[in-house]
Amino acid sequence: METILRFKKDELMDFVIRYMTKLGVPEEDAKIVGNVLICADIRGVDSHGLIRLGSYYGNRISKGYIDPKTPYKIVSETPTTALIDGGNGCGQVVSHKAMKLCIQKAKASGLAAITVNNSNHYGIAGYYSMMALEHDMIGLSLTNSQPLVAPTYGKTAILGTNPISVAVPSYSRYPYVLDMATSAVAYGKIQLYEKKKEHIPIGWGVDEDGNVTNDPSKIKPGGHGALLPLGGMEITAGYKGYGLALLVEILCSTLSGGKFLTNVGGPAKPEPTAVSHFFMAVNIEAFRPLIDFKKQMDDMIGLLKTSPLAVGREEILVAGEKEFAYAEFNEEHGVPLIKPIVEELRSDGNKIGVPFDIHPIQEE
Amino acid sequence: METILRFKKDELMDFVIRYMTKLGVPEEDAKIVGNVLICADIRGVDSHGLIRLGSYYGNRISKGYIDPKTPYKIVSETPTTALIDGGNGCGQVVSHKAMKLCIQKAKASGLAAITVNNSNHYGIAGYYSMMALEHDMIGLSLTNSQPLVAPTYGKTAILGTNPISVAVPSYSRYPYVLDMATSAVAYGKIQLYEKKKEHIPIGWGVDEDGNVTNDPSKIKPGGHGALLPLGGMEITAGYKGYGLALLVEILCSTLSGGKFLTNVGGPAKPEPTAVSHFFMAVNIEAFRPLIDFKKQMDDMIGLLKTSPLAVGREEILVAGEKEFAYAEFNEEHGVPLIKPIVEELRSDGNKIGVPFDIHPIQEE
């Protein structure tokens, strides 16, 4: 097991702000980036947390691939919609503004949707859908991303892992928060199996010929092979996951006029990524009294959680439940970071003269 | 191979109208039901076509489980939203009205969403999403349905196969039309394997203990075992399909105040099914010029279709493409029905004194 160091959230946030502002990001924007990244670590989505601060954002801002000022602008707007040019800035900053605007519009109009082009990686999709929860609305957040996934009958990476996140408030239960890639698994999971020299399950990816494989080393999107969409092969309905990935692509890039499919960049490409996002907010009160809706959410979740368990299982979970429970623990005990990430934050900070001079409150 | 009889669409429609009006369905409503059912047969979704005319709709109207007059009413309404009580009528009738209203609202407001409770089976989800195409809009159609699917870690049928359909116009290509159940497969497919005495692939369903099984006879939702959500088992991300099925459930039943999960009825239950639906229309012009959007759809589809093929495959398809090509053929050559369905239509008609006195234009 890796050593886990726990830090006070405020102290980590302070470091992120010092680090990002040193790179030219305005303080208010740096706070947004920090909130999104730390939220990922708190919810247990380490792959999208502070691990990316230097390696992705810091690195790409330094090289000029991301504009630290995020000079986004609203290209077109109606009371229920907007199209925003992300100004090749920090994805978190324009996405936070877009979702705020979406919520504001939905408050007045019942529904609102905003699409964003010319942006960059925005962190966890769930951060923005969950922004709707504080306003007792349903939130939706989608983004396209660098090509990693093969379409059904294809053999190369054409689609991103294009996540879908939807957040729905409840009364006394945890909210429903779906936050899923439309690929069967994340690429990181395949790399982990390769490192452990283990076979991967059938349905995760295809080799250079487009044949399903249990050998993780045969799946190197961009080089050879690719991830499979949710559902895996055709016989287990992988074309549905492919259809969903394409839906995300359409609402993000086609609706915004952004770059699509293999034209979307990733961390390896020395140029702006031109990622697109899509956000939506639904004002529940426009349909029925909020309290009735929230109580029915509780009843529905209750029915699910008391339904018969498979042999050997302990609990039926609802999307987001595990993450909320984990986040509650971490809010109390400190944000968990594995040692190599802390070392990286320290070294990234030193590189630009921003010392990581904070101390863990606990070591596990 | 089963004998296929091809009929003129107009003549089939005429029979449906005579049959439904005899049961007390107003003529205009009977036309809607006919259009939805025949559309399914034309697109190759036989399971949702005329096979259901007598066995489902006729049977349930005769027994008083469906109100043939579909006395729907709008419970609440704003310029962008509505909640409709389906009046326990024909699902097709209220859904057609709801989607029409949705499109009308989106024309004026950019976006619109309508949720419907107290309804019945509405046929193929794609019929309603595709209504948006004639108006150059994006359409969405969702419905909950009788319990057939186990949640991850469960072992009984709690969720419906809760389909998602989205239709998006393009310029010169077929539109993108996703129309997918959120289960790995339809129950009918498992029954087919049982009939052929073949094993089913791992990931389609679980037995009475909640263990994944390759024996189709062990999957009898409502009795023992259940279908698995898209993604199959946990290791292949079945919890994502489960999360999507629950999302459909929330937007249909929780947002409308309708019955949910195991409280939703099916053909076997001698009572109204209390199914709920959800519709949405997105006016593309509210975001960007329609022509630009449609041409970018073409470009994106073109990129997909010219991307590298897996060994042994002939073509990469886009959602809906196969169905559009099949429908074009059938529009020209006649609506295909297998002989047993024709026999059933004849016998169902005879039962209520509506002779199926039309003749196939071709037999294959």
Residue A111: its chain B contacts at CB < 8 A?
80-81, 111-113
CB contact under 8 A, B155 and A309: yes
Asked whether the beta carbons of A118 and A93 are under 8 A apart, the reply is no
CB contact under 8 A, B240 and A180: yes
At A295 the pLDDT is: 98
Number of Cβ pairs closer than 8 Å across A and B?
A: 270
At A307 the pLDDT is: 97
Q: What is the rounded end-to-end Cα distance, in angstroms, of chain A?
A: 10
CB contact under 8 A, B300 and A203: no
Residue B136 clears pLDDT 80, i.e. is over it: yes
Q: How far apart are CA A173 and CA A294, in angstroms?
A: 9
Hey, is the C-beta of A306 within 8 angstroms of any chain B C-beta? no
Q: How far apart are CA B168 and CA A246, in angstroms?
A: 11
DSSP 8-state class, residue A363: E
At B160 the pLDDT is: 98
Question: What confidence tier does A326 reach under pLDDT thresholds 50, 70, 90?
Answer: very high
Fold of A1-63+334-364: Hypothetical Oxidoreductase Yiak; Chain: A, domain 1 (1.10.1530)
Residue A138 clears pLDDT 90, i.e. is over it: yes
**For A64-95, what is each residue's pLDDT tens digit?**
999 999 999 999 999 999 999 999 999 999 99
Question: What confidence tier does A19 reach under pLDDT thresholds 50, 70, 90?
Answer: very high
Chain A, nearest residue to B287 by Cα: A83
Cβ-based neighbours of A335, under 8 Å, separated by 6 or more: A6, A7, A8, A9, A12, A38, A41, A42
Predicted TM-score of the model (pTM): 0.98
CB contact under 8 A, B150 and A253: no
User: In this prediction, what percent of chain A has a pLDDT beyond 90?
Assistant: 96
B175-193 average pLDDT score: 95
Residue A1 clears pLDDT 80, i.e. is over it: no
Other C-beta atoms lying within 10 Å of the C-beta of residue A24? 13
Question: What confidence tier does B268 reach under pLDDT thresholds 50, 70, 90?
Answer: confident
Domains B1-63+333-364 and B64-284 share a fold: no
Residue ranges per structural domain of chain B: 1-63+333-364, 64-284
A125-147 average pLDDT score: 98
At B254 the pLDDT is: 98
Residue B116: its chain A contacts at CB < 8 A?
none
**For B287-314, what is each residue's pLDDT tens digit?**
999 999 999 999 999 999 999 999 999 9
Does CATH place domain A66-290 in 3.30.1370.60? yes
Provide the b/e sequence for B223-258 (b: ≥16 CB within 10 Å).
eebbbbbbbbbebbbbbbbbbbbbbbbbbbbbbbbb
Question: What confidence tier does A267 reach under pLDDT thresholds 50, 70, 90?
Answer: confident
Chain B, nearest residue to A284 by Cα: B255
B235 closest CB neighbour out of A109, A201, A241: A201
B129-142 average pLDDT score: 98
Which residue's entry shows tokens 């107003």?
B26
Q: What angle do CA A61, A143, A9 make, to 5 degrees?
A: 60
Provide the b/e sequence for B193-222 (b: ≥16 CB within 10 Å).
bbeeeeebbbbbbbbbebebbeebebbbbb
Fold of B64-284: Ribosomal Protein S8; Chain: A, domain 1 (3.30.1370)
Query: Can you give A85-133 as a three-state secondary structure string?
Result: ECCCCCHHHHHHHHHHHHHHHHHHHCEEEEEEEEECCCCCCHHHHHHCH
B94-101 average pLDDT score: 98
A261 closest CB neighbour out of B111, B138, B303: B303
Asked whether the beta carbons of B274 and B264 are under 8 A apart, the reply is yes
What is the average pLDDT value for chain A, to the nearest integer?
Answer: 97
Residue B216 clears pLDDT 80, i.e. is over it: yes
Task: Compute the nearest-CA separation of B72 from chain A (Å).
Answer: 16
Hey, is the C-beta of A141 within 8 angstroms of any chain B C-beta? no
CB contact under 8 A, B230 and A232: no
CB contact under 8 A, A255 and B293: yes
CB contact under 8 A, A155 and B309: yes
CB contact under 8 A, B287 and A115: yes
The DSSP line for B230-270 is TT-SGGGTHHHHHHHHHHHHIIIIIHHT---GGGS--TTSS
Asked whether the beta carbons of B316 and B309 are under 8 A apart, the reply is yes
User: For domain B1-63+333-364, which architecture applies?
Assistant: Orthogonal Bundle (1.10)
CB contact under 8 A, A81 and B111: yes
Return the H-helix or E-strand segment holding A258. none
User: In this prediction, what percent of chain B has a pLDDT beyond 70?
Assistant: 100
Residue B243 clears pLDDT 80, i.e. is over it: yes
Cβ-based neighbours of A80, under 8 Å, separated by 6 or more: A105, A106, A109, A110, A111, A112, A113, B80, B109, B110, B111, B286
Provide the 3-class DSSP secondary structure of residue B212. strand
Residue B80: its chain A contacts at CB < 8 A?
80, 109-111, 286
Q: What is the ipTM of this complex?
A: 0.98
**Strand ranges, E, within B130-245:** 137-143, 164-168, 176-180, 205-206, 226-227
If we measure between CA atoms, which residue out of B45, B122, B80, B44 comes closest to residue B282? B80
Per the rule left: phi > 0, alpha: psi between -120 and 50, beta: everything else, B353 is: left
Q: How far apart are CA A279 and CA A84, in angstroms?
A: 11
Task: Compute the nearest-CA separation of B147 from chain A (Å).
Answer: 12
B94-107 average pLDDT score: 98
Question: What confidence tier does A2 reach under pLDDT thresholds 50, 70, 90?
Answer: confident
Question: What confidence tier does A184 reach under pLDDT thresholds 50, 70, 90?
Answer: very high
